[in-house]
Amino acid sequence: MKNNIKVQRAIHGLTQEELAKKVSVSRQTINAMEANKYVPSTVLALKIARLFNKTVEDVFLLEDND
């Protein structure tokens, strides 16, 4: 699963640490998601999408091989 969290963070002027605090996870979790090494739970994906005022599908991209 790909995502555009890094782009959305830049648009909203947030660091990984700031985003992590807003969605109650560690900075390492945000880093792992941005590197496509961690697939978030549904709840976390919804929190992130809501924070950016986007749909989950706007932030997270499901690929055919997922």
- pTM score: 0.92
CATH 1.10.260.40 fits 2-55, yes or no: yes
Q: What is the DSSP letter of 39?
A: P
3-class SS of residue 37: coil
Distance of CA 35 to the CA centre of its chain: 10
Measured CA angle at 60 (ends 5, 20), to 5 deg: 40
Q: Give pLDDT tens digits for 10-66.
A: 999 999 999 999 999 999 999 999 999 999 999 999 999 999 999 999 999 988 887
Tally Cβ neighbours within 10 Å of residue 27.
14
